[in-house]
Structure 1
Amino acid sequence: MLLTVIVVGAVSAALIIGAVWGIYGKLSGRTEGFMVALAGGALMVSAILELIEPATKNAPLGWVLGSVFLGALVFVGMDVLVKKKWGSDSGGGLLAAITLDGIPENLALGVALIGASPMAVAALSGSIFLSNLPEAAGGAKEMAGNKRKKKGSLLLWIATALILSIAALAGNLLLKDTSPEILAYIRGFAGGAVIASLAIEVFPKAFKKDSYYTGLAAALGVILAIFLSSFSK
């Protein structure tokens, strides 16, 4: 349990560190785009190797792949609901949008912590950490640029980090005694949601910030994630 708390806390802390960096430090658009693409490449590989592929060993392939698609479908639907219908100009809407973006990764982390090897957890948590850092930095920087109070923006990211930490820990505890087959479907669902979030939120943002260099950054992220995953074999 202590290891779970430490891992979840460290990953969520990246949101706060990134927010501080974006609000009070210097972050160029190109640096942000490169880091986002790097993290996106690493996170996609981790979602496949640490979530989807292991799930196929404990449940029928067709049902696991169906859960992957369902995860993507649910994330896309929720993203449309929050950002298109509710908007993100108000504090509540903004908090909901930020939290929604972080749910797939934290769900994935909470599930991966159940029965996964230390190196598999390290590969996934490292990828999520890399993803959270530039995302929070860029988001917090934009909030400050829109004349939001710096303190209020930072508090918003702290609240998001706390919400996502609690969600990951609660999910981990509630699913601990779940049967391997059901857990496999949940892993697939989380993996599909992560992939959808990368396609909608991460790679388009990275390309907008850093243009074609994001292709190289994403490839480096893939290489990094595969290298880390090789230690868990």
Structure 2
Amino acid sequence: MLTLAVIVVVSAALILGALWGIYGSLPEGLEGFIVAMAGGALIVSVILELVEPATEQAPLWAVALLVLTGAAVFTVLDHLVDKKEGSNNGGGLLLAITLDGVPENLALGVALIGAGPLQVAALSGSIFLSNLPEAAGGAKGMAASGRSNGKVLALWAGTAAILAAAALAGNLLLAGVPDVVLALIRSLAGGAVVASLATEVFPKAFKDGSMSAGVAAAMGLVLALALDQLG
């Protein structure tokens, strides 16, 4: 029951964020601040929850190779999305959440096996914090590019369903796989996260929030560290 509750909450962040982006109205500076704060939290998540644990289970060269592969795959696909539909339509953020979210949620599902309440809160809180404003920014960009609100919401709801399925698969199907396999999955996700931060999250945060983005990113980093300490 706890596993299902966590998966629902984390996935719901995408739908709530999409609703916020489509129908909500916040000053651009505040939106940029929130996106930057989420980016700061992701810096901690990618190191403490993905890459560092991977180095304890797999050789450093393998982790490095998968991190670079994840970054390269995201960069190529993000370029194709921008080339086809434009760089400001929100597709890049949707791609970012999907590429790093699938392996991340696979890992989340495995981590929920036998995890205590504080560990669950730390991991799911970090993912929720990053997904909510990213989905808001992506959905807002898609709506502004001319897509109907219904189609935009359906895209994000579909992505939420995919990530929920990934978490369930991780919980039900990957519990017995070798640790090195999970390490490589986390490494791939880590590379995609780093690339998304560099090309989608922080550029958007700086554009909307200007100089406050730096302080916001530091706040997100500190908050994610606090959540990790709870675990």
Shorter-chain TM-score bucket reads: 0.7 to 0.9
* TM-score, structure 1 as length reference: 0.84
Instruction: Give percent identity, aligned residues only.
Output: 54
Corresponding residue of 2:35: 36
CA distance in 2, matches of 1:198, 1:55: 20
CA distance in 2, matches of 1:130, 1:217: 13
* TM-score, structure 2 as length reference: 0.85
C-alpha RMSD of matched pairs (Å): 2.4
Corresponding residue of 2:131: 132
Picking from 95, 103, 106, the partner of 1:107 is 103
**Segment drifting more, 199-208 vs 20-29:** 20-29
Q: Contact 1:109–1:124 at 8 Å: present in 2 too?
A: no
TM-superposition CA deviations, 1:173-210 (whole Å, max 9, x none): 44332101222122111111111111111011100100
Q: Contact 1:45–1:226 at 8 Å: present in 2 too?
A: yes
CA distance in 1, matches of 2:173, 2:220: 32
- Say whether residues 1:179 and 2:175 are aligned partners: no
TM-superposition CA deviations, 1:32-59 (whole Å, max 9, x none): 1101000111011011101111111112
**Segment drifting more, 101-110 vs 171-180:** 171-180
Q: Contact 1:143–1:153 at 8 Å: present in 2 too?
A: yes
Corresponding residue of 1:79: 78
Amino acid of the structure 2 residue aligned with 1:114: V
CA distance in 2, matches of 1:155, 1:208: 27
**Segment drifting more, 166-175 vs 219-228:** 166-175
TM-superposition CA deviations, 1:40-89 (whole Å, max 9, x none): 110110111011111111122222222222221222122223332xx237
DSSP 3-state at the match of 2:38: helix
Corresponding residue of 1:17: 16
The number of residue pairs the alignment matches comes to: 225
